[in-house]
Structure 1
Amino acid sequence: MDTTWAAVAGAASFTWLGMVLAISFLEAPLKFRAPGVTVPLGLGIGRLVFRALNIAEALLALVVVVAVTAGSPTAPVAALTGVVAALLAVQLGAVRPVLNRRSDRILAGEDAPRSAAHHLYIALELLKTVALVALGATALAAV
């Protein structure tokens, strides 16, 4: 893989990884432990934060895809790029709408039960984290 494009793909992957780790695995669970944060308030904050994260993720995914495409990727880099992009697509296209509908109900005052979609989103975040580490490391190995 071309070294400049490999560096761009690696940097974007690790930037993306840092954002996922900071938001999904640090901010999201901690906000509900803050004094005075109710479930509706935490959900409202979470929706804003995750909307911003998902926009940033989509932009970083675009950077990674462009860099990998332009850089004559190795098969592992191309495959990992596809995996990361697919995981993000499933999160945004299938899981987030379900979570948004549930949070809409809670914000409207309903008492909605826990959603299995939340656990699926977390599982996808874990898989995406592993894939981003592998993608960043594999891309930077070409530098």
Structure 2
Amino acid sequence: MNATLASAASALTFVWLGMVLAISFLEAPLKFRAPAVTVPVGLGIGRLVFRALNRIEAVLAVAVIVLVAAGGASVLVAVLTGVTVLVLAVQLLVVRPGLNRRSDRVLAGETLPRSRTHHVYVVTESVKVLALIALGTVLLGA
């Protein structure tokens, strides 16, 4: 793969990784521990933050795809890129809509039991983190 394009794709991949780690695994759980942050307030903040994150992730995904395609990527890089983008697509098109419907209900005043969909999101987010680490590392060596 072209070294310049591989370096750029790797840098974007690690920026993406840092954003996911900071928001999904640090900010999201901590906001509910802050004094006076109620579940509805936390959900409202979370929806705004994750909407912004997901938009930035989509832009980063497109940029990485373009760089990888233009750089003549190896099969391994192409597969890792595909896995990463597929996990993001599942989150955006399958998991997040269910979480949004649930948060709409909570914000409307309903009291609901804990959701297993959050566990699915955490699992997909964990898989995406591993895929981003692998992709960024392989791109560094390309």
* TM-score interval for Structure 1 and Structure 2 normalised by the shorter chain: over 0.9
Q: Give the corresponding residue for 2:69.
A: 69
Q: Percent identity?
A: 65
| Aligned equivalent of 1:105 | 105
Rounded Cα–Cα distance in structure 1 between residues aligned with 2:108 and 2:70: 47
State the AA in 2 paired with 1:51.
Answer: R
1:112 Cα deviation after fit:
1.7
Partner of 1:2: 2
Match of 1:90 in 2: 90
Name the aligned partner's letter for residue 18 of structure 1.
Answer: G
- 1:115 paired to 2:115: yes
- Secondary structure of 1:132's aligned partner: helix
One-letter amino acid of the counterpart of residue 9, structure 2: A
* Counterpart residue number, 1:31: 31
Worse overlay, 98-107 or 109-118: 109-118
Amino acid in the other structure paired with 2:46: G
**Using the alignment, how far apart are the partners of 1:120 and 1:98 within structure 2?**
11
Structure 1 unmatched runs, 5+: none
Q: Where does structure 2 lack aligned partners over 5 or more consecutive residues?
A: none
TM-score, scaled to structure 2: 0.99
TM-score using structure 1 length? 0.98
Size of the aligned set, in residue pairs, is 142
Other structure's SS at 1:72 match: coil
Please state how far the C-alpha of 1:126 moved relative to its aligned partner.
0.4
Q: Secondary structure at the match of 2:111?
A: coil
Q: CA deviation at 1:38?
A: 0.2
| Deviation (angstroms), 1:127 | 0.4
**Segments of 4+ in structure 1 off by > 6 A?**
none
Match status 1:81 vs 2:81: yes
Match for 2:45: what amino acid? I
Counterpart CA distance in 2 for 1:8 and 1:78 is 15
Structure 1 SS opposite 2:73: coil
**Deviation at residue 140 of structure 1 after TM alignment:** 1.1
Task: State the alpha-carbon separation in 1 of the partners of residues 39 and 96 from structure 2.
Answer: 18
What is the one-letter code of the residue matched to 2:105?
Answer: R
Q: Secondary structure at the match of 1:109?
A: coil
Distance 2:105 2:41 in 1: 13
1:39-93 CA-partner distances (Å, limit 9, x unpaired): 0000000000000000010000011000000000011100000000000000000
